[in-house]
Structures are given as structure tokens and as C-alpha cells.
Amino acid sequence: MINKIIASVLPYFPKSFVKIFANKYIAGEKLEDAIQVVKELNAKNIIATIDVLGEDISTKDEAIAAFNEAKLVLDEIKKWNLDANISIKLSQFGLKIDKDFCYNLVKDLAAYAKEHNNFVRVDMEDSTLTDVTLEVYKRLRSEFGNTGVAIQAYLNRTYGDVEKIIEYGPHFRLCKGIYVEDASIAIKDHDGINENYLKILKLMLSKKAYVGIATHDDYLLDSSKKIVTDMKLDKNEYEFQMLLGVKPDARDKLVKEGHRVRIYVPFGEQWLKYSLRRLNENPKMTWYIIKSLFKKG
């Protein structure tokens, strides 16, 4: 309970104080910070996806700036020969302003990534954007095979959504979901979400889709490993995905077992909203960080 209380009051503290907690989850504010983190991960045989933090922009100029920054990320990945791709949010590319404008930006980014022999992941946002995100992604995937989409297992609709887009041969990131949604559209209990997650995962893998199994849940990790073993999948037919700063021991264990592991590496000046979501999702982390602040030596 104390962890949840600490996480809930953090938004009311000065930004400089909150950053003490946020540093666990972000690479830094600058692109060079993210590049350094990815270099360190690659040295440990861990791959990455880089995300420039930011969403819900309000002007087309901001969307174009996000597009240009994403291109810079791709340039730096190529420059340093990193094993990494990029993740983007469509609201950062102007989705709420003009859907076609957003699509054209993302299409140009996918083309740029293809020239760099790289890949673009479309992140999923809250439920108000699910339909339009999938619509944009289907258009994108029909033109560019180097694109993927995130899918959230806690929404009641998700299994049906996967059935509808599986024909596009999509590249999935399957996660539980982090946005607060109404009980009328989302599964609220832990076991129910896990059950739906595994049901969706089996559907994806049975249809030969490549899946980023994105979870830190021990039960889901063990169950997913059993599923890929039972289906006799090669290690290059799926990967596990985790967030920067969360359960590094579990991450390292997966790597040691020979699984592909990709870490989500966010960076940017818009770190506050992202970090608060992470801390609310994982309140125990606040206590670990507090203890680390007072360790001697």
C-alpha cells in the first residue's frame, strides 16, 4: 500500500525530485544518451527499440519535428551499427490533427527506415485511438513489411482485432496494456488479463506471426516459454521484450537461455508523463529506488 501511495503523490513533487525515480526507466533526455544505453545492451547480446518520448502534439509543425527526430534516430542506429529499431506513437505524428497527414509522415518514415534496413513499430495508445491506429497500420503494412504494431491484451476487443489483421502478416508486440480503461471495455483482474494474453499469443503464433512477447510477469514468461517450446518454434521466430529498468535479472536469464530479448529504450525531454505511468504500473519500484538513495557507500 505504501508503494502505491508514494507513486500516487509523485506528480505533486518538483520535477527534479520525480526525475530521481524516472531515471530508472529512461535513457536520458538526449539521443546520445539512448545510443549509449543501446551500445551497452548490444554488448550484452540484447537488442533494443528506441522511442523518442512525446505524444498528443497539437500542431503539424510539432508532428514534422517528431518525424525529423525519428529520422535522426535511424541515422544514428546506422552510424553506430546498432542492433535496434524504433517505436513511435501516432498521436506524436499528428493522428488527432489529420489522419492522412499522419499516415503520410509515418509512410515516409517507414520508407526511410527501409533504406536504412530498419524497422518501425507503431505503439498502441488509449482506447479512443485503437480503431484509427489499426486502420493506419493496416494501410502501412500493405505497403511496408518493415513495420509492426503493439497490441494490448487487457482490452476485450483485442482477440477479434488480431483475427482481422492477421492476414496482413503483421509483426506484433503483445503487451498487457497500461492505460486506465473502463471496465465495460477492459479486463480488470490480473488472472483474466493473463488468460487473454496467452490466448492471443497462441493465436498469433499459430498463424505464423512474429511476436514480441512483451511482459515482466513471471507467470506469463514461464507460460510463453512453454508455448514456444510446445510449438517447436525456432528462437528467431519470436522474441521477448521488456522495458528499460524493469526486472533486469529476468531479462538476463532469458538471454542466458538463448532467447532473443529486446529492451524498450525511451529518451527525450518529455519523460515525465511516461515515467509516472511506469511508476503507477509498478509501485514497488518506488520503494526500491528510495532504499537505493539511502544506501551507504
Tell which residue, 136, 80, 203, has the closest CA to residue 211. Answer: 203
Find the catalytic residue in 123, 251, 260, 262. 123
The mean pLDDT of 156-182, rounded to a whole number, is 94
Q: What is the pLDDT of residues 287-297, one digit of tens each?
A: 444 444 344 33
Secondary structure (3-state) at 124: coil
**Choice among 17-31, 194-208, 212-226 with the minimum mean pLDDT:** 17-31
Tell which residue, 98, 18, 114, 112, has the closest CA to residue 62. Answer: 98
Per-residue pLDDT at 176 exceeds 80: yes
Per-residue pLDDT at 284 exceeds 70: no
The mean pLDDT of 226-253, rounded to a whole number, is 95
d(CA 266, CA 50): 6
**Choice among 9-18, 106-115, 188-197, 206-215 with the minimum mean pLDDT:** 9-18
What pLDDT is recorded for position 31? 97
d(CA 198, CA 143): 29
Q: Is the model more confident about 113 or about 276?
A: 113
H-helix or E-strand spanning residue 48: strand 47-52
> Measured between alpha carbons, how far is residue 99 from residues 19, 48, 134 in Å?
34, 28, 12
d(CA 240, CA 235): 10
Domains along the chain? 27-267 (3.20.20.220)
What pLDDT is recorded for position 213? 98
**Chain centre distance of CA 164:** 22
**Chain centre distance of CA 152:** 11
d(CA 212, CA 262): 8
Find the catalytic residue in 51, 121, 161, 173. 173
141 catalytic residue (yes or no): no
262 catalytic residue (yes or no): no
Per-residue pLDDT at 1 exceeds 70: no
What pLDDT is recorded for position 55? 74
Q: What is the pLDDT of residues 85-135, one digit of tens each?
A: 999 999 999 999 999 999 999 999 999 999 999 999 999 999 999 999 999
Per-residue pLDDT at 37 exceeds 70: yes
Strands 147-152 and 171-175: parallel
d(CA 251, CA 176): 17
